[in-house]
Chain A
Amino acid sequence: MKIHEYQAKQLFAQYQVPVPDGRPAVTVAEAVTAAEALGGYPVVVKAQIHAGGRGKGGGVKLAHSAEEVETLAKQMLGMTLKTHQTGPEGRIVKKLFIEAGQKIEKELYLSLLMDRATATVVIMASRDGGMDIEEVAAKTPERIIKVHVDPLMGIQGYQLRQVGFDLALPKAALKGFSSLLSNLYKFFVANDCSLVEINPLILTADDQVMALDAKVDFDSNALFRHKDLLALRDLDEEDPMEVEASTYNLNYINLDGNVGNIVNGAGLAMATMDIIKNAGASPANFMDVGGGASAEQVENAFRIILADKKVKAVLINIFGGILRCDVFAKGVVEAAKKTGVTVPVVVRMEGTNVEQGRQILADSDLNLTSASDLADAAQKIAAAVN
């Protein structure tokens, strides 16, 4: 689960990770009040969306007066901000963050993330802050510092010092940096983060280190023990169909093709999308109803997919396993009747009682086509849309 920069910075402050003074605003008037309250100009007006690259897209601007804040806030609120992370459709800006301007001496990069290969938290840092870190990693990998933290021991003093020295920080800033990194690690672990990224981390003219930006992603599987964090979720930043699907425990991702598909199990769902593409059609979504797949799950999935206007045909691919195919087929027929299917539906199922299941589909007077196997299903679904 992602949160906004301003929310991340409020959490940082609670953990004594230094951040500039700032406040959020949802109207132009609030933006001006916030700027005035900061007690001096320049201030920075920052669009709050769940995507990086905001500066390049025109979502981060400097203002030297209340009038400039007003003009910028008017421009930004309601604008569609496009960055390399939003996709071509962009995001509508609904919130701003007004922050006190800083005298920047140096821009650095600092992040903490889960490293799957070593099963540790890894600290990544670089002197080349403020730019695209993936580019730095690709072109000058030697300029990326990596330190692995033993999850049972936690971060140690020598590791804090190592990162500080490798970043070539002035002596006067080292103590402040060690404290910042140590507190950031505490924040990461205490809140089950999967990523904390500060780009840039700045060194000010008076040798202070400070998080000028903040990107935080939490492990969704751990949210059960962080009820307070759930309040930070911003549904405006998520696809409404994906939000609805998540309330039924469906794993759904909206894509841009026209073949809706419903599959049990994430791996099989991905492979089914591949098969649709191989057959010359294009998937409208990823939909995993769960390995166990109950008839009720399939019904909810069906409804969500049929509400998607770009869907011209639906492929249902269920490897029944322990769920019996006759029970499943009855569920599909029920769901199809309730939702009023208007597009062709190809059903491929496998598992116990598959013959009875196919008979149930054939006996229904619905526009349902049975497929004998995956290859057959791919051909039939491609024929339905092409």
Chain B
Amino acid sequence: MSIFVNKNTKVLVQGITGNEGSFHTRQCLSYGTRIVAGVTPGKGGQKMDEVPVFNTVADAVKETGADASLIFVPPPFGADAIMEAADAGVKLIVAITEGIPILDMVKVKKFLNSKQCRLIGPNCPGIITPEECKIGIMPGMIHKKGHVGVVSRSGTLTYEVVDQLTKEGLGQSTCIGIGGDPVNGTNFIDVLSAFEADPETHAMVMVGEIGGSAEEEAAAYIQAHVTKPVVGFIAGLTAPPGRRMGHAGAIISGSSGTGEAKIKAFKENGIHVCENLGRIGQICKEIF
């Protein structure tokens, strides 16, 4: 078992013929992901390697039965691509695209309320269930099948954590990057509750960063609903306030969203805090 994706997940790729889209489609295919279709408007009928390309997501779903989508389209078309996938009945939408305007995302979020689907991202590395299904841009080889669930707001920082876990012999059930944007689809709590319900997940690692209040809310949720051990890490403790650190989400204004407030919330809610990223693998080994 795992959460959200497994070896049976059938994936279509929106923006499959672009540079990034084609590169990462091949990476996912070689990892073993069942990529059944691609979508690029105007290129319907062509093939990307062996993958059939369609003009619309609706066509791709009808012909192939795809139930998940991986989105690589440029930011001006990101919102449109997400809504197209949702409208076509895709159950899981993973948006890698970085730089979608926030006003587009607030509309998308409202639109998705009326649909039966889950959005991961945007501006995220995607989701992977090791040795079964990779829907995203993370390097597959650092992952190992196992029982630790990983959820993070970051990309390469997640790879760092996963790499240390694997080197300590701790495999992962599923790893999810929820993305660094202020408005995104799936949040920490969605993932934590799914990990709690998943019998294959025995422990969790939650990687947050400064800005916003998602980590504080997740900490309160963990206290109330999560029985499995959780290790937490917050990036950006030494960042100066008021500056945007790359991720649109990572900005502290006033006293909310500071690293100290998040660490405090973690500690008060029974989360094991890792204060030194270099040791997160060892700490998990000791606790799990």
Residues of A within 8 A of B (CB): 85, 114, 116-117, 119-121, 134, 137, 150-152, 189, 192, 194, 219, 221-222, 224-225, 251, 253, 255, 263-271, 273-278, 283, 286, 288, 291, 319-322, 350-352, 373-376, 378
Chain B residues numbered 8-59 whose CB sits less than 8 Å from any CB in chain A = 23, 27
Q: Are B103 and A273 in contact (CB under 8 A)?
A: no
Q: Are A253 and B156 in contact (CB under 8 A)?
A: no
In Å, the complex CA distance between A269 and B239 comes to 10
The yes or no answer to B121 lying at the interface (CB within 8 A) is no
Interface size on B, residues (CB 8 A): 61
Task: Give the chain B neighbours of A266 by CB distance below 8 A.
Answer: 154, 180, 245-247, 250
In Å, the complex CA distance between A263 and B160 comes to 12
Report the tally of A-B residue pairs with Cβ distances under 8 A: 162
Q: Are B250 and A350 in contact (CB under 8 A)?
A: no
> Beyond A267-B207, A375-B276: 5 further Cβ-contacts under 8 Å?
A116-B249, A119-B109, A222-B101, A351-B139, A352-B141
- Closest residue of chain A to B105, judged by CB? A119
Question: Per a CB cutoff under 8 Å, which of A116, A267, A278 touches B156?
Answer: A267
In Å, the complex CA distance between A113 and B242 comes to 16
- Closest residue of chain B to A137, judged by CB? B254
Chain B residues numbered 197-229 whose CB sits less than 8 Å from any CB in chain A = 207, 209-210, 212-213
Q: What's the nearest-Cβ distance from chain B to residue A1, in Å?
A: 11
In Å, the complex CA distance between A288 and B239 comes to 14
Task: Give the chain B neighbours of A288 by CB distance below 8 A.
Answer: 245-246
Task: Give the chain A neighbours of B237 by CB distance below 8 A.
Answer: 274, 277
The yes or no answer to B65 lying at the interface (CB within 8 A) is no
The yes or no answer to B277 lying at the interface (CB within 8 A) is yes
Task: Give the chain B neighbours of A117 by CB distance below 8 A.
Answer: 212-213
Question: Per a CB cutoff under 8 Å, which of B160, B212, B248, B276 touches A221?
Answer: B248
Q: Are A150 and B207 in contact (CB under 8 A)?
A: no
In Å, the complex CA distance between A196 and B100 comes to 20
- Closest residue of chain B to A194, judged by CB? B102
Q: Are B246 and A221 in contact (CB under 8 A)?
A: no
Question: Per a CB cutoff under 8 Å, which of B103, B247, B277 touches A151?
Answer: B103
The yes or no answer to B270 lying at the interface (CB within 8 A) is no
Task: Give the chain A neighbours of B242 by CB distance below 8 A.
Answer: 85
- The answer to whether A286 and B75 touch (CB under 8 A), given A121-B106, A192-B103, A319-B156, is no
User: Scoring B residues 64 to 84 as 1 if CB is less than 8 Å from chain A, else 0, what string do you get?
Assistant: 000000000001100000000
In Å, the complex CA distance between A374 and B167 comes to 14
Q: List 11 A-B contacts (CB under 8 A).
A: A221-B102, A265-B155, A265-B156, A267-B209, A270-B210, A270-B250, A274-B237, A278-B276, A319-B160, A322-B23, A352-B139
User: Scoring B residues 135 to 169 as 1 if CB is less than 8 Å from chain A, else 0, what string do you get?
Assistant: 00111011000000000111111111001000000
Question: Per a CB cutoff under 8 Å, which of B106, B163, B250 touches A319?
Answer: B163
The yes or no answer to B62 lying at the interface (CB within 8 A) is no
Task: Give the chain A neighbours of B250 by CB distance below 8 A.
Answer: 266-267, 270
Q: Are B156 and A321 in contact (CB under 8 A)?
A: yes
Q: What's the nearest-Cβ distance from chain A to residue B57, in Å?
A: 21
Task: Give the chain A neighbours of B111 by CB distance below 8 A.
Answer: 152
Task: Give the chain B neighbours of A373 by CB distance below 8 A.
Answer: 278
- The answer to whether A378 and B278 touch (CB under 8 A), given A119-B110, A267-B154, A274-B238, is yes
- Highest count of chain B CB atoms <10 Å: which of A121, A266, A373: A266
Task: Give the chain A neighbours of B240 by CB distance below 8 A.
Answer: 255
In Å, the complex CA distance between A189 and B102 comes to 11
Leading 4 A-B pairs by shortest Cβ distance: A267-B154, A266-B246, A265-B156, A375-B278
- Closest residue of chain B to A121, judged by CB? B106
Task: Give the chain A neighbours of B154 by CB distance below 8 A.
Answer: 265-268
User: Scoring B residues 239 to 278 as 1 if CB is less than 8 Å from chain A, else 0, what string do you get?
Assistant: 1101101111110001000000000000000000001111
- Highest count of chain B CB atoms <10 Å: which of A224, A251, A264, A269: A269
Q: What's the nearest-Cβ distance from chain B to residue A6, in Å?
A: 23
- Closest residue of chain B to A152, judged by CB? B110
Q: Are A267 and B183 in contact (CB under 8 A)?
A: no
Q: Are B103 and A222 in contact (CB under 8 A)?
A: yes
The yes or no answer to B279 lying at the interface (CB within 8 A) is yes
Task: Give the chain A neighbours of B180 by CB distance below 8 A.
Answer: 266-267
Q: What's the nearest-Cβ distance from chain A to residue B118, in Å?
A: 16
- The answer to whether A114 and B102 touch (CB under 8 A), given A271-B157, A275-B278, is yes
In Å, the complex CA distance between A283 and B152 comes to 24
In Å, the complex CA distance between A382 and B48 comes to 49
Q: Are B277 and A265 in contact (CB under 8 A)?
A: no
Task: Give the chain B neighbours of A351 by CB distance below 8 A.
Answer: 139, 142
Task: Give the chain B neighbours of A152 by CB distance below 8 A.
Answer: 107, 110-111
- The answer to whether A321 and B159 touch (CB under 8 A), given A266-B247, A269-B245, A352-B139, is yes
Q: What's the nearest-Cβ distance from chain B to residue A239, in Å?
A: 11
- Highest count of chain A CB atoms <10 Å: which of B23, B103, B277: B103
Question: Per a CB cutoff under 8 Å, which of A192, A350, A374 touches B101?
Answer: A192
Q: Are B152 and A267 in contact (CB under 8 A)?
A: yes
The yes or no answer to B130 lying at the interface (CB within 8 A) is no
Task: Give the chain B neighbours of A319 by CB distance below 8 A.
Answer: 156, 159-160, 163
Q: Are A271 and B160 in contact (CB under 8 A)?
A: yes
In Å, the complex CA distance between A151 and B163 comes to 40
In Å, the complex CA distance between A192 and B101 comes to 8
